[in-house]
Structure formats: C-alpha cells, structure tokens
Amino acid sequence: MFIQFATCERKRALCFLQNSYPNGRIADTDDSAKAVLDLVEADIVRIPDPYMYGLRVAIRPSTHWDENKKSKYIAILKEFHNRALKKNPESQNNWQRKSDGEGML
C-alpha cells in the first residue's frame, strides 16, 4: 500500500487535481493546469492527496516558496481554480479557503 500526503511531482499532482475537480477536464495545458503544475514541479507549492482529506484540497507552500512572490502564486492558483469551476461548477465544494488566502485556495 502506498500513501501520499502531498506531492511536488507534476504527474501525481495532475492526478490529484483531476480527482479534486471531477469532470473538470483538468489537463497539463496552457488553458488548464500547466501554470499550477509548473509551480508544483519547481517545488513552490504542493498538491495534497484529495482522498487523504475527504476530497477537500488545500494547496500548500513548499520548499521554494518565496513570500515576496506570494501574490503572483496566488493569482496563478486562483486563475486555475476559476477556470476549473467554469468547466465543472459542482467541484466548488472540494476547495477550502483560508481567510487570508495564504498558499491555499
């Protein structure tokens, strides 16, 4: 048995996002998750396993998070989130938000 709590691996992160947005047609493309997966691959953020957290996803800062670029990272994450919800509005309940938005959606 393999348990993964959060990942900085691009392919696994894509799977986690696809599970978090069922029917959202999430892909590693410019008009979908590419920018988020670039952050994952650079170990700036980590995507948690949605099955470990009851399909509620909170993207976390990782090793190379730069607080000076926080607004840029948050903008990328929010853009992805909003696009994914347009494709599948039912996924909205899978995402948590902290009031300050720090590293999470």
pLDDT tens column, 74-105: 999 999 988 888 866 555 555 444 434 444 44
Q: From the centroid of its chain, how far is CA 19?
A: 11
**21 and 32 Cβ atoms separated by less than 8 Å:** no
- How much of the chain, in percent, has pLDDT values that exceed 70? 73
Whole-model pTM: value is 0.78
DSSP assigned state of 52: T
